[in-house]
Structure 1
Amino acid sequence: MTGLTDDQIEGLRADTPGCGPDHVHFNHAGASLPSRQTLAAITDHLRLEARLGPMEAGALAAEGVAKARAAAATLLNAAPGEIAFATGGSVAWGMAVASLPPLRAGDRVLVGRQEWGGNLTTLHDKAARAGATVEVIPSLEDGRVDADALAGLIDDRVRLVSLTWGAANSGLVNDAAAVGRVTRAAGVPYVIDAAQVVGQIPVDVAALGCDMLKAPGRKHLRGPRGTALLYVRHDFLDKVAPAWLDVQSAPWNSPWGADHSPVSPRDDARRLESAEASVALLLGLGAALNLALDLGVAAIRARIHHLAQELRARLDAIPGVTIRDIGDPETRSGLVSFTVDGLTGSAVRTRLADQGLTLGANGVPYTPLDMTARGLTEIARASVSYLTREGELDRLANAVAGLTP
């Protein structure tokens, strides 16, 4: 049922400094807890930098970074040349969208109702400057994006479809592959924000049909903050023009190339990658990626889904508590959103933190379209990991029950 044995979970918890009796982490959707192996990969390299110098240590770690890139590719069913690293999820998404052809007057951008607030702000800003529009794809009754309706919206003015795959304010997981079938048939660029998916749900970029996909390392991958993955489909590279270049993304040609230009961007996803990055953090990300691959994301998914469903049932049984999750119950993520009568999501988070329970809270700015559509101003969100024990679900439910009128 869970995909991972109890002995495995206890071993994983023992290797996670953040797992302890006095503190229970239910904010894995915000940032999860790193393993000792991830911490060691980071600190060992920092010590090497202190001893040899950062540039010299970085040269010695080149193979380790290459292995991290290969692990990321394996996780997504991509090629290593289709993976770029970035310093955060928003940076990766911003690099991807900034590399697309500029919008023009009359152009249209289509987004799902769960689009992340930062993405939405960026798209509206770009559209306003160009005289273009940002439009919302209709939703099914359960809140997921309606791929059939999307097909009816597409015309020759649509320049981009952007989809946040897993909602940040509920357990909803959109049918990203159905959207991909529509965009691929229409030849429209398709970018996926997979921040709440990668690391807890299997990802196959070939099956998704997306052109670019990003995910931060700090969430369900349990990697360090300040890292992110960006997938760029190789056949899409000719449509990608980086907003800026450096000595890694476009090494200077000397003598000039056949086109008599000194500028020749790389022919892989690293044309969107900066030469300036924390090697220590990338090695830590590599350790986190290897752990996910060793455990198997299908097994991780089975355990997280079971725990999240159990938590929903416990919270739903408490008078004064309302589960705010939408979408297909069988495809929901490990993020459980809820409200407590008479309390804001932030107040719930604060009061539970006083009891050693760490949760998240989400307001309108983070998922403005969906929150507004459902008349919500703020929700509390408890996100589980495969590290979570069933007894911790009871502890959280009892604490929430103590908050109700």
Structure 2
Amino acid sequence: MNTLPLSLDAVEALRARTPGAETTVHFNHAGASLPSAATLEAIRSQLWREATLGPMEAGAVGREQAERARRLAARLLNADPAEIALTTGNSPGWGAAFAALEPLRAGDRILVGRHEWGGNLAAMRMAAKRAGASIAVIPCDETGRADPAALDAMMDERVRLVALTWLPANGGLVNPAAAIGAVARRHGVPYFIDAAQAVGQLPVDVAELGCDVLVGAGRKALRGPRGTGLLYVRRDFLSRLSPAIVDTRSAPLGPDGEPLLRDDAARFESAEAALALHCGLANALAEALETGIGAIRARIDAIARRLREQLAEIPGVSVLDLGVERSGLVAFNLAALDAGQVQARLAQRGIAIVSNGVAYTPLDMAARGLTQVARASVSYLTADHEIEQLLDGVRALAS
């Protein structure tokens, strides 16, 4: 894995191998980043093999690349390949692991960070309502991060799960995931991390985090294809998870006709896999490891710091990011326009950002009195001239 800083020449070389860098000013890398030409070619090549050899007959190469993706993901997360499942996305992976837990009972409690992804909350609330269980929010410290000490005080024999979104979707805060994990481990409570925005953006070490389950998305900082994701399940925790849906890959029938549930994380995989996307994911993982996650993190942090500082200097702009350590997601609002209007008017200038509503992080948005935010998310590919174009566009809207 490369640990050298990213030089400007290296960034330019990466941009030259990324078709979208020439056609769009992209500040929605947290939604879906720009894939490299090599990732696109890996997908195309598998599709061509399927078209010319037959989809099933071309499966051998696709399966080989899927296993390569599994090994590379294990390196990226400091895990064992047997602890990695390839999924169709972040939410499907998280939802499958949550549904595989022992059913909740009346009086059980789930503890969540205030910044939890809305999709995860929906799954938890439905399960809690059916069982007569409850969901409580871990208080934040003075910087806006989930507070490990407050979590420790909330722990009792009724707590069945601690869930944390590490990097929230609505801004640049980075939660203290390892410190939260230390509390969960001390109390012997299962710990799920939603690392959708973290994987590929900053170093992820599942042993250091102390998590039982962690999920990530292929399409975000990893620059992989949409429709791909990673699910890590700690080996010693796997026996506590019984998938709600199985098939001939996850639980093939044995000689006696009974299902044999796999003893690795692939018990969460389906026989119906998009192997072309797995080929693309394998290439994207290899590129991330070659570039170096430490170097990626350092460059993203420097770019995001600059963007926050210069946005804050524009009259009428409020930068909304909390925390101490921050990610490449930069949230702001403009006094004269709602976030949707900011997104639309920047799009007219060829600049892509997003506007996030309450549904993304409902607990945090409600706690902060926000109904929407404009979000500009950067990548290690982001160039100086793109920052200037975005700032010029916001200045024009503010005036």
TM-score tier by shorter-chain length is over 0.9
2:354 to 360, 363, 367: 360
Deviations 1:351-394 (A, max 9, x none): 00000000011111110011111111100000000000122111
Task: Give 3-state SS (helix, strand or coil) of 1:18's partner.
Answer: helix
Counterpart amino acid of residue 229 in structure 2: A
TM-score normalized with structure 1 length: 0.97
Counterpart amino acid of residue 205 in structure 1: V
In the other structure, the counterpart of 2:302 is: 306
Task: Give 3-state SS (helix, strand or coil) of 1:338's partner.
Answer: strand
Alignment of 1:231-270 (within 5 A): 231-254=232-255, 256=256, 262-270=258-266
Deviation at 1:121?
Answer: 1.1
Task: Write the distance in 1 (CA, Å) between the matches of 2:61 and 2:145.
Answer: 46
Tell me if the contact between 2:62 and 2:278 (Cα under 8 Å) persists in the aligned partners.
no
In the other structure, the counterpart of 1:4 is: 6
Tell me if the contact between 1:101 and 1:239 (Cα under 8 Å) persists in the aligned partners.
yes
In the other structure, the counterpart of 2:269 is: 273
Task: Give 3-state SS (helix, strand or coil) of 1:391's partner.
Answer: helix
2:330 to 336, 340, 354: 336
In the other structure, the counterpart of 2:123 is: 122
Which ranges of structure 1 fall in alignment gaps of 5 or more residues?
none
Task: Write the distance in 2 (CA, Å) between the matches of 1:100 and 1:364.
Answer: 28
Counterpart amino acid of residue 13 in structure 1: R
In the other structure, the counterpart of 1:171 is: 172
Task: Write the distance in 2 (CA, Å) between the matches of 1:370 and 1:287.
Answer: 35
In the other structure, the counterpart of 1:105 is: 106
1:378 to 368, 372, 375: 372
Deviations 1:210-253 (A, max 9, x none): 00000110000000000000000000011010001111111111
Is 1:393 aligned with 2:387?
yes
Task: Write the distance in 2 (CA, Å) between the matches of 1:345 and 1:199.
Answer: 27
Deviations 1:284-335 (A, max 9, x none): 000000000001100000000000000001100000000000011xx20000
Task: Write the distance in 1 (CA, Å) between the matches of 2:231 and 2:66.
Answer: 15
State the number of aligned residues.
397
Alignment of 1:173-252 (within 5 A): 173-252=174-253
Runs of 4+ in 1 over 6 A off after TM superposition: none
CA RMSD of aligned residues (A): 1.2
Percent identical residues: 58
Task: Write the distance in 1 (CA, Å) between the matches of 2:111 and 2:238.
Answer: 21
Deviations 1:31-66 (A, max 9, x none): 000000100000000000001111111123322211
Counterpart amino acid of residue 131 in structure 2: A
Task: Write the distance in 2 (CA, Å) between the matches of 1:94 and 1:64.
Answer: 25
Deviation at 1:6?
Answer: 0.9
Task: Give 3-state SS (helix, strand or coil) of 2:58's partner.
Answer: helix
Task: Write the distance in 2 (CA, Å) between the matches of 1:62 and 1:263.
Answer: 23
Tell me if the contact between 1:27 and 1:359 (Cα under 8 Å) persists in the aligned partners.
yes
TM-score normalized with structure 2 length: 0.98
Tell me if the contact between 1:314 and 1:394 (Cα under 8 Å) persists in the aligned partners.
no
Task: Write the distance in 2 (CA, Å) between the matches of 1:284 and 1:231.
Answer: 19
Deviations 1:81-109 (A, max 9, x none): 00001111111111010011111100000
In the other structure, the counterpart of 2:163 is: 162
Deviation at 1:174?
Answer: 0.3
Task: Give 3-state SS (helix, strand or coil) of 2:41's partner.
Answer: helix
Tell me if the contact between 1:349 and 1:361 (Cα under 8 Å) persists in the aligned partners.
yes
